[in-house]
Structure 1
Amino acid sequence: MANNRGRSFFLTLLFHLLTISASFVQISSLGFGINYGQIANNLPSPSRVVLLIKSMNVTRIKLYDADPNVLLAFSNSNVQFVVGLGNEYLANMTDPSKAQSWIQQHLQPYLSQTKITCITVGNEVFNTNDTQLIMNLLPAMQSVHGALVNLGLDQQVTVTTAHSFNILSNSYPPSSGSFRQDLLQYIQPLLAFHSQFNSPFLINAYPFFAYKDNPSEVSLSYVLFEPNPGSIDPNTNLNYDNMLYAQIDAVYAAIKMLGHTDIEVRISETGWPSKGDTNEIGASPENAATYNGNLLKRIEQKQGTPANPSVPIDIYVFALFNENLKPGPASERNYGLYYPDGTPVYNIGLQGFLPEMVIASSSNGSAVNFLACIITCFISAWELLRL
């Protein structure tokens, strides 16, 4: 009995102290999503990531699978999820019965408590040069959508896929954006699908690549959202002061060229690496902090692009953590905002915390330290009471 009273006392005190301490921590509401990749062997558990995400005040996460541990950990949270079906599933997903079975097994059990709003079927399929995979993409999307209809979930969950920016053959000037000729036979019916079911067109856009490949001609200020004269589109006289917005409008122009003005373009990935190989010019913590920090300011301002000023940019930043097992150049393992131990790779004004770990921006360090200290102390006290 005494032990139960002790537990009740500590829980009540913890609640009041957290309520008081919350006034010290000012975290603005941010309108961006974040990619939560897990190609690593040193990441914190999903239950601890929940605390980090909530303390960052991020309410949208994009996964590359439908990890049940993550979906369970975020039960009854206010976080919306995009879940992924990897390219390896596409052949099976062309079978409507297998698509429905996947949804019933991997999606439906979590929908009552976890907000899942979108499924990405495949990732950068047109960048693979695998003809069979490319041919399977739309049928797989159609089967998944059909399964959602059969289960009464199509108004709750949309179906799309994510593309590499390389699907464009031309992106400058933005108003002349066009898709690669060899992909038109696949993209045209794909756009009809998006139009029919009101699902977004997702693009992975990285101005870093353009700068890395041609640093002598691409202005660093232009790609980092820093002050610069900008670039004027001669066809529209619109001025672009950053490359990402130009890339978004180039995709809109390419879609319009194929007869559609009713499809929303969203950025499913963008970011900047804090480290790279010697030939990956521009990969540094300073540039990464500048790119992501300035991008978040634009998102907070609910900016639209020059060609679509009334449509705020919709972006998922890549990525939450550095992922130490990703293949490829060093940059691939260094896109994270956070190290796996929960400390920030660089400061862009965000602050978050994991249990027993302190993460703070320089301006609010003492406040967050205070809050983290309270949490750590009471977790320890709670553990003692359980003995």
Structure 2
Amino acid sequence: MTIYTSLVHQIFILLYIFTQLFHISTATTIGICYGRVANNLPQPTAAVNLINSNGISSIRLFNPVLESLIPFSGTGIQLTIGVPNEELPTIAAGTPATANDWLQANIFAHVSADQIRYLVVGNEVFLKDPFYTPHIIPAIINLHQALQNLGLSDKIKISSAQAASILSNSFPPSSSSFDTNILPDLTHLLQFLRDTSSPLMVNVYPYFSYINNPQLVSLDSALFRPGNVLNDQGLVYDNLFDQTIDAFIYAMEKEGFGGIPVVVTETGWPTAGGDVASGENALAYNGNVVKRSLNNVGTPKRPGIGVEVFLFDLFDENEKMGNEFEKHFGIFGVDGVKSYDLNFH
């Protein structure tokens, strides 16, 4: 009996060690968006050196411009690369061979496939740029088939980044639903994501939610401050980020697509140019996003499953259109100095 008890005890110890090692090995990735809509940015080689020196291991490029892509070659930095909206009609109208030619010419001739994590086919097309909507799924299918032919479809996952506005209702999370106008196309996308074990990619900005509805949205909730608590069917929410992620999960479940992971392809907080835009608030928001992801906190609906995020943005972008705050999401100044003391690991 003593030997049996000792053996069981040893087994439990081994299982505990294994689970701890597994937890460490599956830490959620923190990525940074490298937007380049500016005329005063450092050279891409300097930007890559800055990324490396800060231990940032994952970068999102909105398009495969060679000037910014080539310096990443051989660095080991994982890349999430956008297929721009304007490229979709040509790729969609072609064949897998056409898609392969595009991949080879724009990406694989310049950086190893081993460095590519995701292809983001189109950015915020549904509702915001509907001209390209009919081209999304055909382009994705051709690109996926091209990756299959290259033996890369298990390594490089394909999705399409969507704005939070594809939800017609998001509060409370359990009542969320997708805009019915996009459901036919969105359903095809969700089917592809489920079939290929790929994530739904969403751009999430509690900052926008707050400034657009300050009477209804709590700044404390947007900034992860204690105070406002929402109890939604037994799940307790104390921040807007979790509410938004779970709203997408509930909406997918309502359409029969439970289990698809969610990746946040953009999130951030501006340091200037608008109401409550400051370095202090940007640090509070991004700092909490990073900590929660690295610690695999997850959300109330998916606890313990860290949310992979790409923080927006590496630098301020002084040629961005729209409101002034759109130009001030940079985590680093163009001189390479952090705009606020954010840690990435």
TM-score by length of 2: 0.87
In structure 1, C-alpha distance between the alignment counterparts of 2:254 and 2:81, rounded to whole Å: 30
2:257 corresponding residue in structure 1: 260
In structure 1, C-alpha distance between the alignment counterparts of 2:240 and 2:275, rounded to whole Å: 17
1:89 corresponding residue in structure 2: 87
For structure 1, the residue ranges without an aligned partner over 5 or more in a row are 1-28, 352-387
**Segment drifting more, 113-122 vs 323-332:** 113-122
2:191 corresponding residue in structure 1: 192
SS in 1 for 2:272: coil
2:294 corresponding residue in structure 1: 300
Matched, 1:74 2:68: no
For structure 2, the residue ranges without an aligned partner over 5 or more in a row are 1-26
Between the two proteins, what is the percent identity of the paired residues? Answer: 38
2:28/2:306 contact within 8 Å kept = no
2:341 corresponding residue in structure 1: 347
2:275 corresponding residue in structure 1: 281
SS in 1 for 2:161: strand
2:91/2:98 contact within 8 Å kept = yes
1:20 corresponding residue in structure 2: none
Matched, 1:117 2:114: no
1:66/1:84 contact within 8 Å kept = yes
2:47 corresponding residue in structure 1: 49
1:72/1:114 contact within 8 Å kept = no
Aligned-pair CA distance for 1:113: 7.3
Inter-CA distance 198–293: structure 2 relative to 1 (3 Å threshold):
same
Aligned-pair CA distance for 1:60: 0.6
In structure 2, C-alpha distance between the alignment counterparts of 1:260 and 1:350, rounded to whole Å: 32
Aligned residues: 317
Matched, 1:147 2:141: no
Of the two, which has the highest radius of gyration? Answer: 1
1:11 corresponding residue in structure 2: none
In structure 2, C-alpha distance between the alignment counterparts of 1:116 and 1:166, rounded to whole Å: 28
Inter-CA distance 203–56: structure 2 relative to 1 (3 Å threshold):
same
SS in 2 for 1:155: coil
1:180 corresponding residue in structure 2: 179
TM-score by length of 1: 0.78
Aligned-pair CA distance for 1:31: 3.6
1:59 corresponding residue in structure 2: 57
Q: 1:291 aligns with which of 264, 285, 290?
A: 285
Inter-CA distance 188–118: structure 2 relative to 1 (3 Å threshold):
same
2:246 corresponding residue in structure 1: 249
2:290/2:344 contact within 8 Å kept = no
In structure 1, C-alpha distance between the alignment counterparts of 2:304 and 2:287, rounded to whole Å: 22
The alignment yields a C-alpha RMSD, in angstroms, of 1.8
2:28/2:296 contact within 8 Å kept = no
Aligned-pair CA distance for 1:30: 8.3
SS in 1 for 2:79: strand
Letter in 1 for 2:159: T
In structure 2, C-alpha distance between the alignment counterparts of 1:113 and 1:213, rounded to whole Å: 41
Matched, 1:312 2:309: no
